[in-house]
Amino acid sequence: MSAKNTSGIPEDNDKEKGKEMDFEFIEESEIESVKRGRKAIVIPELVEFLSKAKVGQIVKVKSFALGSEFVPTKDMTLAQVNELALEKKNAKATASATLRSQARSSGWSKVGIIWDTNNVPNLKKIS
């Protein structure tokens, strides 16, 4: 039975011998970093339009409407209908998050999202 390398020195580990190590010291200014997490999508035209809204006004955003792919058909099983409902819920959540981000970017402090029967989101400026 061989002892496991715990020294942290690659030369001490038989498995590491023969491997080329690829690391170096650099200056912090040489790093091109990115922010963690999701990147916000900004739609300048929508942000500009939303910035003109007054408290209580409702804006219909047809470009974020969900398509007919979320309407169940008669030949679907119950499991398929349930799966489709979950996909629709996720699509609405994604669209709602993007729309909230647009509203915040336009200066809205609070927004309500109302989905109509045709799966079109309507934004209400609350404050």
| pLDDT of amino acid 83 | 94
**Tens-digit pLDDT profile for residues 21-56:** 787 888 888 887 766 766 677 889 999 999 999 999
Residue 112 Rama label (left phi>0; alpha psi -120 to 50; beta): beta
**0.85 surpassed by pTM:** no
Measuring CA to CA, how many Å separate 95 from each of 17, 20, 34, 101, 105? Answer: 52, 47, 24, 10, 15
**Tens-digit pLDDT profile for residues 75-114:** 999 999 999 999 999 999 999 999 999 999 999 999 999 9
Q: How far apart are CA 99 and CA 123, in angstroms?
A: 8
Least confident piece of the model among 13-22, 24-33, 54-63 = 13-22
